[in-house]
Structure 1
Amino acid sequence: MYALVDCNNFFVSCERTLDKSLEDKPVVVLSNNDGCVISRSNEAKALGIPMGAPAFKYKDLFAKNNVQVFSAKFELYNYLSQQVSAIAKNYAPEYEIYSIDELFLDFHGFKYFNLQTYCEELRKRIIDEQKIPVSIGIAPTKTLCKVANRIVKKYPDRFATGVYIMNTPEKIEKALKWLPIEDVWGIGRRIAAKMHENGVYKAWDLLQKPEIWVRKIMGIHGTRMINELKGIPQLVLEEPSRKKTICVSRSFMEMITEKEELRERIETFAMYCAEKLRKQDSCCKVITVFIYTNRFRKDLGEYKNGFSMILPNPSSSSIVLAKMANKIFEAIYKEGYHYKKAGVVVSEFVPDNERITSLFEKDVDAKHIPVMKAMDFLNRKYGKDKIRLGSMSGKNTFGRKIISDDYEKLLKNNTLPEANYRFFS
Structure 2
Amino acid sequence: MSKARCFALVDCNNFYASCEKLFRPDLKHKPVVVLSNNDGCVVARSKEAKTLGIKMGVPAFQIREQLEQGKVLAFSSNYALYADMSARVMTTLEQLAPAVEVYSIDEAFLDLSGLGATQDLNAYGQHIRQTIQQWQGISVCVGIAPSKTLAKLANHAAKKWQKTAGVVDLSCRERQRKLLALLPVSEVWGIGSKLSVKLIKLGIETALDLADANPAFIRQQFSVVVSRIVQELNGESCLALEHVAPPKKEIVSSRSFGERITCKQQMQEAISEYVARACQKLRKERQQAKQLSVFLRTSPFSDKQRDPFYANNISQALAQPSADTRDFLSLAQTLLDRIWCDGYRYAKAGVMLSDFYDEGVYQACLFDHAPALPRADNLMSVIDQLNRSGKGKVWFASQGMQQTWSMKRGMLSPQYTTHWGDLPKVT
Indicate whether the TM-score tops 0.5.
Answer: yes
User: For 2:75 and 2:155, how far apart are their aligned partners in 1?
Assistant: 27
Q: Is the 8 A contact 1:39 1:51 kept in 2?
A: yes
1:411–1:97 distance in 2 versus 1, CA, 3 Å: closer
Structure 2: which amino acid aligns with 1:274?
Answer: C
Identity %: 37
Counting only pairs closer than 5 Å after superposition, residues 144-159 of structure 1 correspond to structure 2 as 144-156=150-162, 158-159=163-164
Q: Say which SS state the counterpart of residue 138 (structure 1) adopts.
A: strand
Matched with 1:399 is: 408
Aligned to 1:320: 327
**Counterparts in 2 of 1:188-267, with a 5 A limit?**
188-238=192-242, 239-267=244-272
Please report how far the alpha carbon of residue 412 of structure 1 lies from its aligned counterpart in structure 2 after TM superposition.
Answer: 4.3
Instruction: Measure how far apart 1:354 and its partner are.
Output: 2.5
Q: Which residue of 2 aligns with 1:136?
A: 142
Any idea what the Cα deviations from partners look like across 1:236-276, whole Å, max 9, x if unmatched?
11131122211110111222111111111001111222222
The Cα offsets for residues 352-393 of structure 1, whole Å up to 9 and x where unpaired, read as 323444534232433534433333333334546x22111122
- Are 2:370 and 1:362 aligned? yes
Range 27-36 or range 206-215, more displaced? 206-215
Q: Which amino acid aligns with 1:173?
A: R
- Alignment map for 1:181-192 (pairs within 5 Å): 181-192=185-196
Q: 2:120 matched to which residue of 1?
A: 114
Amino acid at match of 2:256: S
Q: Are positions 1:311 and 2:311 aligned together?
A: no
State which drifts further: 300-309 or 165-174. 165-174
Deviation at 1:279, TM superposition (A): 2.5
1:175 to 174, 179, 184: 179
Q: Is 1:224–1:234's contact at 8 Å kept on the other side of the alignment?
A: yes
**Normalising by the residue count of structure 2, what TM-score does the alignment of the two structures yield?**
0.91
1:398: how far off?
4.4
1:81 matches 2:86: yes
Paired amino acid for 1:93: P
Match of 1:124 among 130, 142, 152: 130
Counterpart CA distance in 1 for 2:170 and 2:144 is 6
Distance 1:129 1:194, change over 3 A: same
Partner of 1:422: none
TM-superposed deviation, 1:408: 5.4
Structure 1: unaligned runs, 5 residues or longer: 417-425
Tell me: CA distance 1:208–1:364, structure 2 relative to 1, closer, same or farther (3 Å): closer
Cα shift at 1:409: 7.7
Once residues 398 and 127 of structure 1 are traced to their aligned partners in structure 2, the CA distance between those partners, rounded to angstroms, is 33
TM-score (norm 1): 0.91
- Tell which deviates more after alignment, 359-368 or 290-299: 359-368
Letter in 1 for 2:222: M
**Matched residue, 2:344:** 337
In structure 2, the CA distance between the partners of 1:126 and 1:363, relative to structure 1 (3 Å rule), is same
Structure-2 change in CA distance of 1:93 and 1:410 (3 Å): closer
Given residue 408 of structure 2, which amino acid in structure 1 is its aligned partner? G
Paired residue type of 1:339: Y
* 2:284 aligned residue: 279
CA distance in 2, matches of 1:129, 1:190: 41
Work out the CA distance in 2 between the residues paired with 1:398 and 1:91: 39
CA-based RMSD? 2.1
- Specify the SS of the correspondent of 2:238: coil
Which deviates the most, 362-371 or 232-241?
362-371
Q: How does 1:9-88 map to 2 (within 5 A)?
A: 9-64=14-69, 66-88=71-93
Q: Shift of the alpha carbon at 1:201?
A: 2.0
Q: Which runs of 5+ in 2 are unaligned?
A: 1-5
In the TM superposition, 1:369-388 aligns within 5 A as: 369-381=377-389, 383=391, 386-388=393-395
Partner of 1:293: 298
Separation in 2, partners of 1:23, 1:382: 27
Q: Give the SS at the match of 2:164.
A: coil
Q: State how many pairs are aligned.
A: 411
Counterpart contact for 1:29–1:39, Cα < 8 Å? yes
- Paired letter, 2:36: S
Q: For 1:279 and 1:414, how far apart are their aligned partners in 2?
A: 25
Deviations 1:61-81 (A, max 9, x none): 434561110011111111111
Following the alignment from structure 1 to structure 2, what is the Cα–Cα distance between the partners of residues 274 and 252?
A: 20
CA distance in 1, matches of 2:63, 2:161: 28
Q: Which moved more, 1:331-340 or 1:112-121?
A: 112-121
- Runs (4+) of structure 1 exceeding 4 A deviation are 394-398, 408-412
> Is the Cα contact below 8 Å between 1:289 and 1:328 reproduced in 2?
yes
Contact 1:84 1:130 in 2 (8 A): yes
Paired letter, 1:31: S
Q: Deviations over 1:161-180 (max 9, x none)?
A: x2121122221111011011
